[in-house]
Structure 1
Amino acid sequence: MGILMVNALMMASPYGLGSTDAPDASALDRTIEGIIQTLMVGKFYLMFSFLFGYSFTLQLASAERDGASAVPRQLRRSLGLFVLGALHAVLLYIGDILMTYAVLGLVLIAVRNCSARVALRAARILYGCLSALLLLVGLASLLMSDGEAAEPDTESATSLAGLVADYRGDAASVVQANINQLPDMLLATTLLSGFVFAAFLTGLHCGKRRLLADTGSHRTRIRRICVIGAAIGLPGSLFMALAVSGPLNPRWAFPGEMVGTVTAPALTAAYVCGALLLMETVPGARIAALFAPAGRMALTNYLSQSLVMALVFTGYGLALYDRLSPAVVILGALVLYALQLALSTHLMSRHRYGPVEWLLRAVTLARFPHHHDRPPTTR
């Protein structure tokens, strides 16, 4: 759901989430974007990355139970993810994460035998180095004069107008617009890949220690992480929202993004630990049961979200790109997710896998999954 809220605003307009100032943005628009910036931007892709690293240990255990070699399986899985990601980026949404997961998954395969302690130490070192670099770059940007920071960019405005026309055009112009943006998106993804891999390593650490399978014995630590993560992550994210989508001087936008990026892992950790604590309660268990079917087919839902939004916003369908306010976009995204919850519950009551999960599993195993095949579990 968090991924959908962010992607919806990004797919709906070139001004999504304040990356570029919308000329006619209302106070409500800014408020909606500020809420999404504060609570969601930069947090949920890290949560998925953590779960990717954790599930990697389950994949290794599954291969061991089957008496199969884990490396060929994981290489095929990475190849499958890369192909899906490439198609996703070119045809539907340029902000794909699957290709990054596929490439970094190769590094995860290489370090699969490291100890839990080494994995966590490496994650901390990687996060620390990247955070220091980004904060220094953000601080350096403040040395620009106000005039330089706010200098209008005529070429950028022309480019945005062309992007709007392309996304409202025919299918060929939509695909071409996605392809044209690939270099910039690959650069941005490369810069953030360090945080993704740090989350991979953190998930690998937790998976090797089976922390999600026995949260009861770690309840005190989980509570502490939840409180500290929120205390660090929320102020950093709020500052980012005020700088990017709020009233702060434009010169603070870039430093704000850097601070938000650096503090996002703390808030992500708070979300994860808060969810674990919530699920130990009776109401929380009911909430978990409601969301679980969508989680079992998260890849199918992720790609189908992009398909639906492409049909709504681009020339594939209604061509409403840059024609809907953020409030309407978020409302539509919530409706879409509610429908996905209902459909996921229906499908998972009758099938073991979602459609794309079944396809990726077939590629991973190099055979069609049998009826008795079970997905990896934490218990």
Structure 2
Amino acid sequence: MPEALDWTDRVLELEVGPIAHGGHCVARFGEGPGRVVFVRHTLPGERVRAVVTEDGGGAFCRADTIAVLRAAPGRVDPPCVWARAGGCGGCDLQHATPAAQRALKTAVVREQLHRLAGIDADVEVEELPGGPLGWRQRVRLAVDDEGRAGLRAHRSHEVLPIADCLLAPPGSLPPVLAEAFPPGAEIEVAVDADGAQHVDRGDGAGGPLVQWAAGREWRLSPGTFWQVHPALADILAEVVGEWAAAPRGGTAWDLYGGVGLFAAVLAGQVGPGGAVTVVESSRRSVEDGRAALADLPQVSWQVGRVERVLGGLTGSPDVVVADPPRKGLGRAMVDALCGRAPDRVVHVACDPAALARDVALFADRGYRLAQLRAFDAFPMTHHMECVALLTR
């Protein structure tokens, strides 16, 4: 049996190929087809020197760029000193202009749909208002063994004791980063729509976070999920409402519904004579959602995992809105939904690969991809948000 390769700490000179899902580009090193190297902090078409950071001995290894020998159009100097080899794991694309970042993300979502669903989608990742910095309304910090809060290194539990994060609203993090915390703790810093800052030290203390979206106020308990980009909740509500088109007096399901952002829109469409059912596993989110939508008696709530609750829901909905976790819906859930034969499914996804797999599963059950939009809701990172409309 041949000895396993281990190139860890080896420096390679690479011709960089296309962007891949996950914030890295693909290169090859060696004779013939070469061994695959997933390399960060680079752009397609560049020639770089990179150090291997992780090697499991298989068909590929991972590397970080340490020198750019030939730069590609769209490269800029990262605004943050931690966006480098061995640095913070949060940002993947600070070395590219915002337009170049969106082009890279567009290439990723198109490639995933082509490879996993056999669909050539004419989709472009769209810019959101507010610019590439200062947009992140909620930041989760880790605490090292010395009680210092910071962010984790890429693919590591190591905590970097940073002085600030440029993605957070200016001035929000330095006072918190100057504090001492219990080692191993996790701290969440959030800025709400009124500009008030909230620091959740894991004790649930502090007043509610106020957010505005879909034409109403939401008062959220500490730790309750809300989109981190200030423009995204309203944009998603608008797109979901347009594509759901729930009929007056009809039935709609809002699965993985959180506090009911989409349920609020669906309730306006079905009216007092219709019915909207929200399924959400977080009791805290359901409590906040019930309070926010107390004026909408057509909205009912089911607390529990969607996979367990769905079988107990009666009837066939006219439309289903699903915003599952990063792993997507999966075969069992797609089969269960298609068995109820909704006219439309609006699928909200934060992972283009999971979305593409789900789209392929829906196609096997007779649903086609009718509409697709993608949003650059996480500038400087490889992440994006997609919304897909599937129709029978």
> Which of the five TM-score ranges fits, normalised by the shorter chain?
under 0.3
- From the two aligned structures, give the one with the greater helix fraction: 1
- From the two aligned structures, give the one with the greater strand fraction: 2
| The structure with more radius of gyration | 2
Between 1 and 2, higher relative CO (CA 8 Å, sep ≥ 6) is seen in 1
TM-score (norm 2): 0.21
TM-score (norm 1): 0.22
